[in-house]
Chain A
Amino acid sequence: MTEPAIRARALSRHFGEVIAVDGVDLDVPSGEIYGFLGPNGSGKTTIIRMLCGLLTPTAGEVSVLKLNIPAEAEALRRKIGYMTQKFSLYDELTVAENMMFMARVHGLSRGAARTRIKQLLDRYGLTAMRDRFAGAMSGGQRQRLALAVATLHSPTVLFLDEPTSAVDPENRRDFWEKLFDLSDAGTTILVSTHYMDEAERCHQLAILETGHLRKHGTPRTLMAELDGRVIEISGPNLRQVKEQAMQLPEVQSAAQQGLQLRILLRAAARDPIAGLRAQLGDGALRYAVTKPSLEDVFVASTHGGDGG
């Protein structure tokens, strides 16, 4: 494999007493879509800001595109695009004006900027609203504009911080199509999210919790690791069964999903159903080993499951 596009070792960041990021190692291969999955406050934004050179790490090393960060951050700025969590373009400028402004700030000549803007307006379906004020657009439109602006100068690496948090599912699908187009063209993309369905689309994934990187790998591998640990129970009195299950030491979490109770075991057992059946009783309950989901991976690798 070639040199990773983004590499971090023992990366930490403290804000006074608070440790926002603690000893994170990271390798993002070139050209892949790499996801950060984690709840609010897990350190996703802080890590992205450190990788962009916006925040100085308290400890650890970062190199992006072989550039030492933050020492060589200025050289990196020409090669990266950044989409902030909060919409950060100007509400009182139109779509085209925002794009022209950012293109010129990135040093594109007026002529080159015009060509590029036309191309991007078309690609992101913004041509019809080129003279609309950014402040008057919907969440999905703003997000397409933000992505268009982030890619104006054809960056090699894109950092997207929760790009779809204010977007409906339909627009999210479209958005991911655009990301795969970019990835296909060779752009490395680091995207943070707290949506499981989004995380599952990534080539690789890192699960973050309270500033720690708990687990990483392809979504498929991560899910396969849990084979034999997820059991679905259906039948009457599921709320009661859940209470009982939570008392068992081998159960990491139990969560109801519609008519099923989904049990995550702490370790794979040879015959997981037999063990559970012995303790929760047979009665009218039906047991089945089921395919692990990314949510199971998330629960298994964070402490989230402990309290139920």
Chain B
Amino acid sequence: MSVLSRLEAIASKEFKQLARDRVTFGMIVMIPLMQLLLFGYAINTEVRNIPIAIVDQSGSAGARNITEQVRVTQVVEIVDYYATPKEAEEALVAGKVSAVLVLPHNLAQRAASGEPVGQWLVDGSDTMVGSALLALRSMPLQMVAGVPQGAYQGATPSFEVALFFNPERRSEVNIVPGLTAIILTMTLVLFTSAALVRERERGNLELLITTPISPLELMVGKLLPYIVVGLVQVTIILGLGQLVFGVAFQGELLSLAAITLPFIAANLALGLLISTRATTQLQAMQLTFFILMPSILLSGFMFPYAAMPLPAQYIAEVLPATHYMRLIRGVFLRGAETGQLLADTLWLVGFTLVMLVIATKRFRKSLD
């Protein structure tokens, strides 16, 4: 009974402090708001207005038709026309354009037989540009004038898997759930990493450790109020995501809770561990960024996990954010059940327990 009583005492004390600390309280709401708007609007992984040139050797209506269709994608901006591929190549080397579309003499013939209608010459040095144009390669072309209906099916490849859940290629769809992982990592680790350090700096801890409280009671008690904080933030992010970006949540709320609670707990436990190591709040902050940077870069939020080199994948695998990124994208966009994502969920639960045990072991009720 006294265990529960102490847990409740710590948790409610922590909650009162939190509610009265206006800066922290503001951060709980403002960080998700700011981040979501910034990332949602500013980070645009879509590539637009790549400067290209056209070499139209056929001079046919079909060629003009295709050129027009490429132009309206807005992925490219036609800045020049050349007579021969050689001139175009020179412009490419000079950096005047990033790509050239060559439409050959026998365009109508190729279209009729279902062969590729033209060739892209692409400056591959910018991978983002490269992949954007690679996507154009499989662009479904409308009927070319003079070619009978249905004859052109072969040159229009089917959908790519990457487009499957995001047919409009909108980056917000991927960014909103991903941001949940990043914002929770940022705020929750930061809050709890400062939690014990602050008490130590202010001298509260010296009094607290002369009481019969056990380290585990102290740890868990401190963690409980922040679970509520985490849930509030998730609600803000997903609610705003729907409101502002129209990214609708398609899964089960229960599944969302089942994957989010272990992730919140994992971050809080990680923060507590930092708190037992850091001696000042500044140190706690620095250690938090040490966790935060790889979480942003390696978790699959910025770059696809599968495209990373193996060592980076190993590091990513240790970070709770990586696991949650997989979980939330699964639950959020594909409406996957928690059962299908059990491994990652269990990993988060395990991570939480391990961190808690280490933090508890590291926390000594002495000033030595």
Contact = CB atoms under 8 A, between A and B. Distances in A.
Interface string B1-41: 11001101110110011001100000000000000000000
B211 A105 contact: yes
A56 B5 contact: no
Contacts of B202: 88, 91
Contact of A89 (B9, B207, B367): B207
- Among B9, B21, B210, B212, max chain A CB count under 10 A is at B210
B368 A77 contact: no
B151 interface: no
- Interface residue tally on A, bucketed by range: 20 to 34
A102 interface: yes
A88 B212 contact: no
A90 B203 contact: no
B204 A104 contact: no
B366 A93 contact: no
A104 B6 CA distance: 6
Contacts of B17: 90, 92-93
B203 A86 contact: yes
A109 B5 contact: yes
Interface string A80-112: 101010111111110001001110111101100
A53 interface: yes
A82 B210 contact: yes
A10 interface: no
Contacts of A78: 212
A54 interface: yes
Contact of B210 (A56, A80, A101, A110): A80
A105 B205 CA distance: 13
B368 A82 contact: no
A101 B208 CA distance: 10
B206 interface: yes
A272 to B, nearest CB: 48
Interface in A230-259: none
- Which secondary structure characterizes the binding site on chain B? helix
A284 B84 CA distance: 123
Interface residues of B, number: 29
B341 interface: no
Given A56-B366, A56-B368, A84 B207 contact: yes
Contacts of A53: 210, 366
Nearest to A133: B20
Interface string B347-368: 0000000000000000001111
A52 interface: yes
A75 B217 CA distance: 17
A140 interface: no
A70 B366 contact: yes
Contacts of A88: 202-207
Interface in B177-212: 202-212
A84 B206 contact: yes
A105 B203 contact: no
B213 interface: yes
Given A49-B367, A53-B366, A88-B203, A107 B16 contact: no
Contact of A87 (B2, B20, B203, B366): B203
A105 B210 contact: no
Contact of B13 (A54, A90, A149): A90
Given A54-B206, A88-B204, A91-B202, 15 more contacts: A49-B367, A52-B210, A53-B210, A53-B366, A54-B365, A77-B210, A82-B207, A86-B206, A89-B207, A93-B13, A104-B8, A105-B213, A106-B211, A107-B2, A110-B5
- The 8 A-B pairs at the shortest CB distance, nearest first, are namely A104-B9, A88-B207, A107-B2, A88-B203, A82-B210, A86-B203, A101-B13, A92-B20
8 contacts: A56-B368, A74-B212, A86-B203, A88-B202, A88-B204, A88-B205, A105-B9, A107-B2
